[in-house]
Chains A and B, each alone.
Chain A
């Protein structure tokens, strides 16, 4: 029993059980009288027109791409941040170069107008 992740596993199980129990209790106690009107999609009383798909802007995808790049960068930086105190100033400079290269990328994307929502 050396592995501390077993406790995280327990939190995972209990954290899923309690909300699930709330929903099940409510499903047992609550009435079930469904009808056409009640089931219809809620749009402030206006009849629903067409399917529920909405053509999404490409911008969502582009922001997700930029996010992915920075997410991976952050993952690389965390071990650096933890080890910083053990090692010298040289390591700080390494990290600065690492961040600097990516900040240059961010400025490039900015200049190219990729970060505009509209």
Chain B
């Protein structure tokens, strides 16, 4: 095994343990922290694939914003921070079946894909992936429309946030 493979296996094992801990720990904050470990593991995997931009985005958006949002949400909704709620809700077997189906679907799809076993083509030297991404994102032949639509999507998210905030404020008054 090469060093890279060992590193990958270690990262994957840590991610799996953390992911299982997210759903089994009874302490909600601990669950959020384990989730952060899982997300960080994904960032490490991106970095190992030399997808530096994706790795950094994973940390900035998922750990820096979404995980913080989760922790805020936990602190807001639970009256007691060390609350130990029920571990499983009655519909857990539905989720388990869904996860199993998802997994087998992924195996089926990826099993027939040649790229899974082929070695990745080497990077040309002096290749700046961020530069290439930026040009692809804004040049009219490529993804400029999705780029602009993304901004409308974010606007919709913002308006949704305003709406939620208003409901809350209405209740308080």
Q: Do A and B bind each other?
A: yes
**A82 and B157 alpha carbons, distance in the complex (Å):** 26
A61 at the interface (CB under 8 A from B): yes
CA distance A28 to B141 in the complex (A): 64
Task: Pick from A56, A64, A72, A83: contact of B154, CB below 8 A.
Answer: A72
What's the Cα separation between A72 and B79 when bound, in Å? 31
- CB < 8 Å neighbour of A62 from B68, B137, B161: B161
Does A112 belong to the interface (CB within 8 Å)? yes
Q: Tell me whether B151 is interfacial, beta carbon within 8 Å.
A: yes
Report whether A108 and B131 are in contact in the complex, using a CB–CB cutoff of 8 Å: no
Given contacts A5-B48, A53-B79, A102-B158, is CB(A68)–CB(B66) below 8 Å? yes
**Among B72, B131, B155, contact of A82 (Cβ-Cβ < 8 Å):** B131
Taking residues whose C-beta sits less than 8 angstroms from the other chain, chain B's interface range is 35 or more
* A79-B134 contact, Cβ under 8 Å, with A52-B81, A71-B60, A109-B161: yes
B61 interfacial by beta-carbon distance below 8 Å? yes
**Residues of A contacting B126 with CB < 8 Å?**
none
Check A97 against B148 for contact (C-beta < 8 Å): yes
B148 touches A98 (CB 8 A): yes
Q: Please, which residues of chain A bring their CB within 8 A of the CB of B123?
A: 2
What sequence of 0s and 1s flags, for each residue 82-113 of chain A, a beta carbon within 8 Å of any chain B beta carbon? Answer: 11101100110011011001101110110010
Smallest beta-carbon distance A47→chain B, Å: 20
Does B161 lie within 8 Å of A66, measured CB to CB? yes
Question: Residue A83 contacts which of B81, B138, B152 (CB distance < 8 angstroms)?
Answer: B138
Indicate whether A11 reaches chain B with its CB closer than 8 angstroms. no
| A51 part of interface (Cβ distance < 8 Å) | yes
Bits for B105-142, please: 1 = Cβ < 8 Å to A, else 0.
Answer: 00000000000000000010000001101110111100
Please tell me the size bucket of the interface on A. 35 or more
Residue pair B134, A80 in contact (C-beta under 8 Å): yes
Q: What are 25 A-B residue pairs whose CB atoms fall within 8 Å in the complex?
A: A3-B47, A56-B76, A58-B76, A64-B68, A65-B161, A71-B60, A71-B65, A72-B65, A75-B61, A76-B150, A76-B151, A79-B138, A82-B131, A83-B131, A83-B137, A87-B138, A94-B148, A95-B138, A97-B151, A101-B151, A105-B158, A109-B158, A109-B162, A112-B162, A114-B165
Which residues of B pack against A, CB within 8 Å? 44, 47-48, 50, 52-53, 55, 57, 60-61, 64-66, 68-69, 72-73, 75-76, 78-82, 123, 130-131, 133-135, 137-140, 144, 147-148, 150-152, 154-155, 157-159, 161-162, 164-166, 168, 172
